[in-house]
C-alpha cells in the first residue's frame, strides 16, 4: 500500500505492538524474578513507542501537517525508557516490585508505580486519545459505501482501550496481569481483516469543507474503481 498516507507509522505501530506482546510473553515464560524485571525494562521500548506511532499514523492518515518540532513528542517516551533501565537507583517509575503467588504455583509480578509513571501514563493517554479523535473525525466524513471499513477501524480503536482501562482500574481478577498487549494484538487483527478483505485504506479521508458544499456546480468524488464516494449538495439535488 505505497500510496497510503501514514503507512510507515502504521508499520512501526504494529512492530511496537509485536515487541510489547513478545516481551510480555517472554516475561510470563521466565521463572527468575531478576530476569523478568530486565525484560520488563526492555518492554518499555514498545510501550512508549506505541502512542507516538499511533498518533503519527493518525496524523498522517488524516493529512494533518507535522508539528514545527516533531522530535518533542519523543522526549517523554525517551525519558521513560531511560528511567526504566535506571529504576534501581531512583525508583521513579516503580517504587516496588512485589511477587504475587498464584494457586498454580506461578508467581506474578506486581509493579507498584512511582511518581513518574503518572507522567508516562498521562502522555500515553493524551497521544492515544488525540490519534483516536483524529481518526474518528475522519470516519465521520466517510460515505456509506465504506461503512464496513469504518466499523473495522472503530473495532481496532476500541479493543485496546477496554483492556487498558480494565488493567488501570484494577478490575482484572489476577493482580499484575495486563491484557493491554492482547487488546492491541486483536486491534492488529482487525486492521489486517479491514485492509485485505474490506480495502480499509483505499479511501483517503476527504475533508468536507463549507466551500465544497456551497459550490454552485455539481461536484463528485470518484474512487479508483469508478464508484461515487462523495458529492456536494448541488450534485445530490
Q: Is residue 183 within 8 Å of 155, Cβ to Cβ?
A: no
The SS3 call for residue 50 is: helix
Mean pLDDT value across residues 10-14:
87
Q: What does the pLDDT look like over 189-209, one tens digit per residue?
A: 887 887 777 666 665 544 455
What's the pLDDT at 207?
Answer: 47
In whole numbers, what is the pLDDT of the chain averaged over residues? 82
pTM of the model: 0.76
Helix locations, the chain, DSSP H: 7-29, 33-61, 75-85, 115-140, 147-168, 180-196, 210-214, 233-236
d(CA 187, CA 181): 10
Q: What does the pLDDT look like over 140-159, one tens digit per residue?
A: 766 666 666 666 777 777 78
Q: What does the pLDDT look like over 16-30, one tens digit per residue?
A: 988 988 998 898 888
Specify the DSSP class assigned to residue 224.
Answer: T
Q: Is residue 119 within 8 Å of 76, Cβ to Cβ?
A: yes
d(CA 21, CA 16): 9
For residue 128, pLDDT beyond 90: no
Amino acid at each position: 500500500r505505497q500510496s497510503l498516507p501514514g503507512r510507515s507509522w502504521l508499520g512501526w505501530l504494529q512492530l511496537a505492538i509485536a515487541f510489547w506482546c513478545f516481551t510480555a510473553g517472554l516475561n510470563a515464560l521466565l521463572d527468575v524474578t531478576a530476569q523478568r524485571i530486565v525484560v520488563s525494562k526492555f518492554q518499555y521500548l514498545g510501550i512508549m513507542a506505541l502512542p507516538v506511532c499511533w498518533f503519527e499514523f493518525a496524523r498522517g492518515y488524516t493529512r494533518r501537517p507535522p508539528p514545527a518540532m516533531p522530535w518533542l513528542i519523543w522526549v517523554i517516551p525517551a525519558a521513560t525508557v531511560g528511567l526504566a533501565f535506571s529504576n534501581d537507583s531512583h525508583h521513579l517509575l516503580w517504587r516496588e516490585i512485589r511477587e504475587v503467588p498464584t494457586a498454580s504455583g506461578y508467581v506474578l509480578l506486581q509493579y507498584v508505580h512511582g511518581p513518574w509513571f503518572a507522567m508516562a501514563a498521562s502522555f500515553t493517554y493524551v497521544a492515544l486519545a488525540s490519534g483516536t479523535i483524529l481518526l474518528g473525525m475522519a470516519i465521520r466524513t466517510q460515505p456509506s459505501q465504506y461503512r464496513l471499513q469504518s466499523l473495522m477501524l472503530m473495532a481496532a480503536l476500541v479493543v485496546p482501550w477496554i483492556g487498558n482501562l480494565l488493567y488501570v482500574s484494577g478490575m482484572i481478577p489476577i493482580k499484575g496481569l495486563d491484557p493491554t498487549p492482547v487488546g492491541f494484538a486483536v486491534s492488529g487483527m482487525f486492521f489486517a481483516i479491514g485492509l485485505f478483505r474490506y480495502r480499509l485504506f483505499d479511501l483517503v479521508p476527504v475533508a468536507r469543507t463549507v466551500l465544497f458544499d456551497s459550490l454552485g456546480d455539481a461536484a463528485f468524488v470518484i474512487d479508483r474503481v469508478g464508484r461515487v464516494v462523495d458529492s456536494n449538495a448541488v450534485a445530490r439535488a
